[in-house]
Structure 1
Amino acid sequence: MAVGVLYVDDEVNNLNSFKAAFRHDFDVFTAISAKEGRKILDATEIGVIITDHRMPVMTGIEFLESIIQAYPDTIRILLTGFADINAVMDAINRGHVYKYLVKPWQNDELKMYIINAIEIYKLRRENKDLAAKLRLAHAEIETLKKLM
């Protein structure tokens, strides 16, 4: 199962750098805005979302918060050029962020976090699948009990 990695940033140079650094390791998608990022999420299986915090129209935290209900299993990483304790708290509390990283990123470090995030995403999906199978098996057992 190919799991996509989406990077949302309003700076084209950052998007290009990200894609160049990670396109051989991951199925990379980039978006210049939260609105464009949402379109990609709606069309593609994305396991990891990395977003800049300070963007026009909608901040990275607002974007992450807005997609929690529709994409609860997706792992969220906030990548920003500004270390702001309020942004960190908002990221954790509102955006359910897995990691908060400061730009400029180090490719090896970010790659490690993405690999870990994809593994967590896959485990979450597998856990949901197993839980659904267990519920189905339990329902079948209950049906068989009633027939006896």
Structure 2
Amino acid sequence: MNERDLKSIKVVYVDDEMSNLTAFKSNFRRFYTVETFINPTEALEWLDENEAHVVISDQRMPVMQGTEFLGILYEKKPDIVRMLLTGYADIKAVIDAINVGHVFRYITKPWHEHDMRTAIESAYEMYRLKKENAELLRKLQRINEQLEFMYRQSILS
């Protein structure tokens, strides 16, 4: 992807530690459009009104766990690709991430810029392909309806 295409990727990062938010934004704002939130509730409110392609959430936060946040997001906006980030090896979090949050990827802290960029761009590609497939399915359904109409017309004639 070229720089202009990368900048069109909208990433939301949620973490209860301001230093992590600052580091993430300073590392990735030159590549992507980045929004950061210290509170998952505020992130959900923002996402109700704004578009995002990729959402990354820390797991352990005081307001709600990352898996809970991602599960709520999945119910509201299933097309957004979700990733869970944590510094703790917690098998329950991994299971919940898959079953509740429907995460695309589970990333451990500390993250490395190259690995995170690869994950974000892969997540965006997943988002883009899901949208493209949905549009192709709509077109196919319209064609099918037209063919059915033409078939019925030929029978009646």
Please indicate the TM-score interval, normalised by the length of the shorter structure.
Answer: over 0.9
Distance 1:69 1:94 in 2: 10
TM-score by length of 2: 0.89
Q: Which contiguous aligned blocks of 4+ residues in structure 1 show a shift greater than 6 angstroms?
A: none
Confirm whether residue 29 of structure 1 aligns to residue 32 of structure 2: no
Pairwise CA distance, 1:44 = 2.0
Q: Is 1:3 aligned to 2:9, yes or no?
A: yes
CA radius of gyration, larger in = 2
Select the residue among 123, 136, 152 that pairs with 1:146: 152
Q: Which residue of 1 aligns with 2:22?
A: 16
Could you tell me which of 55, 61, 64 is aligned with 2:70? 64
Q: Which sits farther off after the overlay, 107-116 or 79-88? A: 79-88
Q: Cα offset for 1:35? A: 0.9
Check the 8 A contact 1:75/1:117 in 2, yes or no.
yes
Decide whether the 8 Å contact of 1:3 with 1:45 is kept in 2.
no
The range that moved more, 90-99 or 111-120, is 90-99
- CA distance in 1 between counterparts of 2:23 and 2:82 reads 19
Match of 1:109 in 2: 115
Deviation (angstroms), 1:25: 0.8
Matched, 1:128 2:134: yes
Per-residue deviation, 1:61: 0.3
**Cα deviation, residue 106, structure 1:** 0.5
1:103-137 alpha-carbon deviations (Å, 9 max, x no partner):
11101110111011100110001000110111111
* SS in structure 1 at match of 2:60: coil
- What secondary structure is seen at the aligned counterpart in 2 of 1:68? helix
Moved more, 104-113 or 34-43: 34-43
Partner of 1:38: 44
Aligned partner letter, 2:49 = A
Deviation for aligned residue 1:90: 1.2
Task: Give, in angstroms, the shift of residue 27 of structure 1.
Answer: 1.1
2:11 aligned counterpart, secondary structure: strand
* CA distance, structure 1, for counterparts of residue 78 and residue 142 of structure 2: 22
The answer as to whether partners of 1:73 and 1:124 remain within 8 angstroms in 2 is yes
Measured in 2, the distance between the counterparts of 1:122 and 1:44 equals 17
C-alpha displacement of 1:147: 2.2
